[in-house]
Amino acid sequence: MTSEAKLGTAPSESDDRDAVHVAILACVNRGTEPLHRGQRETVGGIPGLVDPWMTEPAYPGERFWLCVNPETVTGMRHHWEVAVSEPQVADADTSRAWLEALAKDAGLSYDAMMADVEDWIDTGDVKTQENDDSWLNAFYRIEMDDFWRHWEVITGKTRPDDDTLGWPIPYSCSC
């Protein structure tokens, strides 16, 4: 029996498995907040879900896939090329927005976060947040290479060697 699986509806008693096409759209987060996997979003009037398999939030200025809602598109095609992962050089506005979004996600001001990072680089001392791990968790949700790329654009400095820092992020838990 041919299945007519439709995402967004419950499978029938006779359904056991199927494969579906999902239209995906390459997008840029033009907002001021990070977008998280599975989040409902509308881009250019097209409704969908932020890539449910991405491992990090898409911060302002960053690219992400939008999985377009079922029955939204009328024609689909496959377009495949060899995947090449080259870090893109960000401009100052994009980097500032990315770092501001990270600070907001951590519950910090941009200036406080940047000062904490400078102190961490200069002294090796990490900041400890009592009874709350929001600072720590915000940094665990990102790739530090992304952080350093944006930090370098804003500060004009070169990231320190990981060996000199002693701790992978500028914050620690109180445990």
Confidence of residue 34 (pLDDT cuts 50, 70, 90): very high
pLDDT of residue 174: 66
pLDDT of residue 82: 37
Q: Which residue has the tokens 């029938």?
A: 12
> Mean pLDDT of all residues in the chain?
80
Confidence of residue 38 (pLDDT cuts 50, 70, 90): very high
pLDDT of residue 23: 81
Q: Exposure pattern of 60-90 as b/e (b: 16+ CB <10 Å)?
A: bbbebbbbbbbeeeeeeeeeeeeeeeeeeeb
pLDDT of residue 86: 44
pLDDT at 163 over 50: yes
pTM: 0.52
pLDDT at 89 over 80: no
Average pLDDT over residues 7-35: 80
What sign does the dihedral 99-161-129-36 (CA atoms) show?
positive
Token representation of residue 99: 């770092």
What's the number of CA atoms in the CB half-sphere (13 Å) around residue 83? 1
pLDDT tens across 57-86, in order?
A: 999 988 888 888 887 776 655 544 434 344
Average pLDDT over residues 134-152: 84
pLDDT of residue 83: 41
pLDDT of residue 39: 94
Surface-to-core class of residue 155, CB atoms within 10 Å of its CB (0-12 exposed, 13-18 middle, 19+ buried): middle
pLDDT tens across 109-139, in order?
A: 999 999 999 998 888 888 888 878 888 788 8
